[in-house]
Chains A and B, each alone.
Chain A
Amino acid sequence: MKLLTCPMNGPRNIDEFQSFGPVRARPDPNGTADREWSRHLFRAENRKGIVVEWWRHVPSNYFFLAERDLVSNEIIRTFDASQLRERA
């Protein structure tokens, strides 16, 4: 059983969580050409390395972020979405 530490619920079985994929910057809906929209929609981060992803703890419907290594599957840290806004 792999554990994921939820910032709200503590360490839980990763089965309780749903991955929503790497964080992507949202393009400006008024000033973005089709080409950039397609990039935003279809090209997610997939490099071998560390990604920041959205996850949801399904029973509590709580969305948060995790830094995870796509090669070793190590979860480096998890944090609340408010910290993402602070970083931005």
Chain B
Amino acid sequence: MPLRLLKYGLSRDYPVSGDIPATPELKPAYDVVIIGGGGHGLACAHHLAKYHGIKSVAVLEKGYLAGGNTARNTTTIRSNYITPEGIAFYKEGVELFERLSQELDFNVMFSQRGQLTLAHTEATMRSFHMRAEMGKHMGTRTEVVDQKGVEELCPLLNMDYGGPLEILGGLWHADGGTARHDAVAWGYAAQASRRGVEIHQRTEVQGFEVVGDRVQAVKTNRGRVACGQVLIATGGMNYDVALMAGVELPIRCYPLQAMVTQPLKPWLHTLVSSVSLHTYLVQSSRGEVVIGGGSDPYQLYSTRSTLDMKEHLAEGAVHLFPFLQGVRLLRQWAGITDMTPDYSPIMGASPLANLWLDCGWGTWGFKATPVAGKRMAQTIAEGRVPDILKPFALERFETFRLLNEMGATAASH
């Protein structure tokens, strides 16, 4: 063995410890219990520990770390929404992603390559003008481009001139990008556990002990845990988990299906999305083309894939880029999305005083991982909802103050 290597092997720095410690014993009580060990829950844990000095935090995860929708989403990061409240929130999310690798000391492979959304109808162009103006007003980089602009941004696109799906123009969002989903979750988990947060994998929440208007304890398959504050951040299981605490959320669950091709040379340099085709594409840093996202047309809790949906996605992808027709598919999957009536999330207070919601993330949750974590941590630490989250309150459905983002959410319906 080379001497230098042996010297390293005998040094104090060896062996390097793992990023995330093994699941410890469950303590009888924590200041904060976070249900859901996905990106959002871990981001919240990180912010609680680092910025609010709250270290008695347990993250309870039914399965394994970031194995739910954090692992299944298609990693689109953008802020080109249509409501001022939505844009303000997602804009902060994009800005946090811009600094995230530094924040976490972990390479999340953020690539701000821009997102191009395509219009095949005049009606879509009109909605793009509105989104662009809203985006500019709120300080994001969002603009309408014409056919020439689309060709310049993505020369390999089939413009279908004169055809039924002719591309009339696009919405160019220079702030858009993508990042490595596992790295985001692992970066947050590593930072949080370094500061004393306990991450409990294979720990399933089975019920709540509610006394008056407070959650006294959370019942799990590994025992009872008393809690000061509780956060629900369980993605597709949000409806179920909230219901155990007696909170009925306006959520319906639909599977969202996606797939990836074999790795190819880098050729797709932006995120491309078509509203009419319900198809979007992004090339990962490994060269795989990620193709999403088909929402099933009826409610379901099953993560099976269907040939119908894969055919639909393949048809859209091959229409936009005909040379993809000979490319092989590598993997396919589905995740359960917790869809809200207005395509905006539900964040903030619940009817119980110490139970907080980070729910209703439907098909749009990954991009909000850092900002939801940061703002939910602030909410829990201060015991009140910050202004930026107030429009997303559960009560908005009772006061009919909906935040309609349906038209700005490409993945669904």
Contacts and interface: CB of A to CB of B under 8 A. Distances in A.
Given A18-B297, A71-B302, A43 B240 contact: no
Given A35-B398, A38-B398, A48-B240, A70 B248 contact: no
A46 B299 CA distance: 8
A43 B250 contact: yes
A48 to B, nearest CB: 6
Interface residues of A, number: 24
Contacts, number: 51
B299 A47 contact: no
Interface size class of B (residues with CB under 8 A): 20 to 34
Nearest to A49: B301
Contact of B341 (A22, A41, A70, A73): A41
Contacts of A72: 302
Nearest to A72: B302
B341 A46 contact: no
A74 B96 CA distance: 43
Interface string A63-81: 0000010111100000000
Contacts of A11: none
- Report which residue of A35, A42, A44, A48 has the largest number of chain B beta carbons within 10 angstroms of its beta carbon: A42
A68 B308 CA distance: 19
Interface in A29-60: 34-35, 38, 41-44, 46-48, 51, 53
B238 to A, nearest CB: 10
Contacts of A27: none
A68 B72 CA distance: 26
Tell me the interface secondary structure of chain A in the complex: mixed
B264 interface: no
Contacts of B249: 43
A68 B297 CA distance: 14
A74 B240 CA distance: 20
Contacts of B119: none
Interface in B230-252: 239-240, 243, 248-252
A65 B176 CA distance: 43
B252 A44 contact: yes
A26 interface: no
A87 interface: no
Interface of B: 239-240, 243, 248-253, 297-302, 304, 306-308, 341, 397-398, 400
23 contacts: A1-B308, A2-B306, A15-B308, A21-B252, A21-B299, A22-B299, A34-B398, A38-B400, A41-B397, A42-B341, A42-B397, A43-B248, A43-B397, A46-B239, A46-B252, A46-B299, A47-B240, A48-B240, A53-B298, A68-B298, A70-B299, A71-B301, A73-B300
